[in-house]
Amino acid sequence: MSSLRAEQISVTIDQYRLLDAVSVALHSGEIIGLIGPNGAGKTTLLRVLAKLLTPDSGAVALDDISLRQISPERFARRCAYLSQGAPTHWPLRVDKVVALGRLPYLGWRQQLCAEDIGAIETALALAEVAHLRERLVTTLSGGERMRVLLARIFASQPHFILADEPVAALDPYHQLHVMELLREHAHRDTDDRTRGGVLTVLHDLNLAARFCDRIILLAHGRIVCEGDPRAVLTSPMLQQIYGISVRSIEEANEFSVIPWRRTHG
Amino acid sequence: MTAIRAIADKKLLPLLIAVLTALFFFALSQGPAVLNWLAALRQPHTSIDGVIFWQVRLPRELLAVCVGASLGLAGAALQGLLRNPLAGPDLLGVSSCAALGAVLALYFGFAAVTWLALPCGGIAGAMLAVVLLFLVSGRRASVLTLILAGIAVNAVMSSFIALALNFSPNPFALSEMMYWLLGSLANRSMNDVMVSVPFMAVGWLLLLSCGRFLDALTLGEETAQSLGFTAAALRWRIVIGVALCVGAAVAISGNIGFIGLVVPHLLRPWVGYEPRRLLISSALGGAILLLLADIVVQWLSAGGNLKLGVITALIGGPFFLHLIVKQRGLLQ
Amino acid sequence: MLKNPLFRLIFCLLFALSGNARAESAIPQRIASLNLCTDQLLLMLVPRERIVSVTDWAARPESSYMAAAAQGIPINHGLVEAVLPQKPDLILAGEYTDPTLLNLLRRLGYRVETTAVPHDLPQARAHILHFGELVGASLAAQQIVADMDRRLQLLDARQRARKPQLAAAYAPNGMTVGRGAVLAEIIERAGWRNLGSELNMRGYAQLSLEQLLLAQPRLLVLDVTAENKGGSIAYSYLSHPALATLARNARVVTLPPALSECIGPMTVDAIELLAAQR
């Protein structure tokens, strides 16, 4: 059972305390949704977990080894990061973009070996973008692009996926598709070692409720509440944190919430 | 077109190498003297043909290849690092800053003290420019900020060069302004090759080793870092590599413009826009372009009064205008 | 500011109004010279008491043949304004001094003589004689010309003995001299063939290093036209390693600017220097 654990993380930038003694643990086999109002510190927490930002205090450990002792390359093989907005600066072919996911494995090699090509093909199939392989990534629709970037992540064969608002600009069809792919990565059921973990920042409470095993609610740099979606996404909690009222839905054993109305205070 | 692209995909490098080799030998055969090649090869030091070939023509063409390669490579690296097709060492002021460093080293006697002074002056100038660029425009600079910063640096450096030449003790100094602003490979010797090529070679190694990082940067700096690259260290490696390439090149040949801008641009579609593949292609392409320009210069003015930069500007200027028209959206 | 024509006009008018008399005398007693070549000729022909100022170039040994003689004489920097307070009765200007200004001075009653630059030795003889008349030193001028003639005759006599070999002049920026330039005449008079002339060049022209090497001249004349301080690209032409190969089979002589800047007796010195290399 693998874990990515953050203990007592604090981050202060320009005298503004972004995170205050936050502890988070991501285990294999689970998909965690990180929610909270704008400016709560979600992206900051994700970046700390992804080894992109060094916290002022506290430590992060992968399988109980401190991140400071793991080389960036080794860490890249275990954890993959999907950044917000996910830019692609050059109009590369889709298969070349996905091949970028193999960079942590290349070392000084310039050519892809059979193993790399295998991983790329598997990734293309998993993300259902194999038919787009020769297209230029800049000519794709938003949803197709996001799946290609996910394929890039799959190509790295990571254990843990850290995603920052992966579905922000997508239409409903693609939103569901991407969330399904992420959940599959976490729940894919072979044996304990290859089951992954996903931590994703989401704004959409509905998607968070339906697809995540656990929810962490962050506000003003602190964890307000965490646990099962049903336990966290309650009216009083959401009213306090977001200032909204919600309607909850229970349908065929699936739980969901719909933001309903703004309240005052 | 896609069929051509597919061929180009695999055969581009061999093609470029073949063109470069052919052009190199052609360039060596140009000149007012008709050489007896056998004599030149058998008696390099004693026959006149030998002296002309080894000491006059060969250094000049070797420098054309190395300077062209350095400028092309530096341009591709800068464009990859800044994720911007309009970045080029001359546009961003790196070349003119290098020229200032070289001018200070040459005209105020430092180069007479040690041969190291000239290339190191150029390299120091180039480093200063890149650091200034990053300071002024920040790491996530918009196109406009970068170009404005480049314009500012260029203006300041050109004035300083004029000032330095004005105060130089040498009576010819001020009239050599054109050399520094436009560049020339006339009258080069093997000494010049020895003085500059080692630095350029180190620059090539540094830049070529950053290819995969530039590929990763396609997805943004954060993703690149998450793919296992230490962005800060690699950024410095690219900065130093660019400084070595541009600094040594400008110190030995003046500010030859547009190669770092035009060559990567022309070759980018042929390497599938992949930044890593663009590096080596741009190096070869830059060498080819500069060799061509040098051949044209020698045809047009055997004595060498025409500056090389005039030809590259005649090619690069209109090209740059065309680029602006095509990239109008990018500049918004 | 001093070069502003309006300022000069005002300055001159004020000076004129101050009422100094400038009578024309038969032999000028207060001569001022505004360029290097007239400086040197003046110093050769006229005793110091009659000279009020010369340019700063005249006193520099690197560029002036008469540097020793110029020591202690007041310096003008070639500026008319510096000369006027010295109340000269003859101002000697070169071809390139501002003609408008000179005309103004003439109208104000100053005696201004512009002398054209001689382009070859016959012109130089005529020029020296004319100059001698201007400054009231005809006898001295005739002596100088006679001396030049004598030395040249000696040189010519020696020339006829041997067949001339090829010489090439090389200056910063890779320049050489062709027909019409003084240095070409110097080289030919000294008993050498001039590469630039044989390549049909006129005046100062660029010579490619390849052409120079191919020609394999027996004499390389380095025409150092000005002092070389600090480095420069122009001077790097003179230190190209390939020239060392040339130097193995040829004599290399540096022609100092003092001998080549102006035409006159110093030109004969230059000819003697090159003739001695044969």
Please list the pLDDT of chain A residue by residue as tens digits (265 residues). Answer: 789 999 999 999 888 889 999 999 999 999 999 999 988 899 999 999 999 999 999 999 999 999 999 999 999 999 999 998 878 899 999 999 999 999 999 988 778 899 999 999 999 999 999 999 999 998 998 889 999 999 999 999 999 999 999 998 888 999 999 999 999 999 886 554 567 899 999 999 999 999 999 999 999 999 999 999 999 999 899 999 999 999 999 988 899 999 999 987 5
Q: What pLDDT score was predicted for residue C21?
A: 43
Picking from C224, C212, C202, the residue whose alpha carbon sits closest to that of residue B302 is C212
Three-class SS of residue A21? strand
What tokens does B175 get? 């009239």
pLDDT top residue among C119 and A26: A26
Dist CA C82 CA C56 (whole Å): 12
Picking from B244, B255, B125, the residue whose alpha carbon sits closest to that of residue B184 is B255
Tens digit of each residue's pLDDT (9 = 90 or more) over C126-162: 999 999 998 888 999 999 999 999 999 988 888 777 7
Strand ranges inside chain A, DSSP E: 3-13, 16-27, 31-35, 57-62, 65-66, 79-82, 160-164, 197-201, 214-219, 222-227, 244-251, 254-262
Cβ of A92 within 8 Å of Cβ of B216? The answer is: no
Side chain identity at residue A17, one-letter code: R
The residues that bridge with A247 in the sheet, in sequence order, are A258
Dist CA B293 CA B311 (whole Å): 6
Instruction: Out of B212, B216, B222, name the one closest to residue A83 (CB).
Output: B222
For an interface test with B, the pick among A71, A81, A88, A90 (most B C-beta atoms closer than 10 Å) comes out as: A90
Biggest alpha carbon–alpha carbon distance for chain B: 63
Picking from B135, B143, B133, the residue whose alpha carbon sits closest to that of residue B86 is B143
Yes or no: say if C173 and C238 are a contact pair by the CB < 8 Å rule.
no
Q: What pLDDT score was predicted for residue B325?
A: 83
Nearest residue of C to residue B167, measured between CA atoms: C230
The residues that bridge with A215 in the sheet, in sequence order, are A33, A227
Is B21 touching A (CB cutoff 8 A)?
Answer: no
Picking from A55, A66, A61, the residue whose alpha carbon sits closest to that of residue A3 is A61
pLDDT of C20 above 50: no
Is C228 touching B (CB cutoff 8 A)?
Answer: yes
Dist CA C153 CA C45 (whole Å): 23
B7-19: average pLDDT: 84
A87 CB neighbours in chain B (<8 A) are 219-220
Cβ of B56 within 8 Å of Cβ of C209? The answer is: yes
Q: Looking at CA atoms only, how far is residue B212 from chain A in angstroms?
A: 7
pLDDT of C17 above 60: no
What DSSP element (H or E) covers C19? none
Picking from C117, C149, C139, the residue whose alpha carbon sits closest to that of residue C47 is C139
User: What is the β-pairing status of strands C175-177 and A222-227?
Assistant: unpaired
Q: What residues 172-231 of chain B have any CB closer than 8 A to a CB of chain A?
A: 211-212, 215-220, 222-223, 225-230
Picking from C198, C124, C113, C190, the residue whose alpha carbon sits closest to that of residue C158 is C190
**Mean pLDDT estimate for chain C:** 84
Is C240 touching B (CB cutoff 8 A)?
Answer: yes
Q: What count of CB pairs under 8 Å joins B to C? A: 91
Is C217 touching B (CB cutoff 8 A)?
Answer: no
The yes-or-no reply on A/B contact (3 CB pairs or more, < 8 Å) is yes
Instruction: Out of C231, C234, C242, name the one closest to residue B189 (CB).
Output: C242
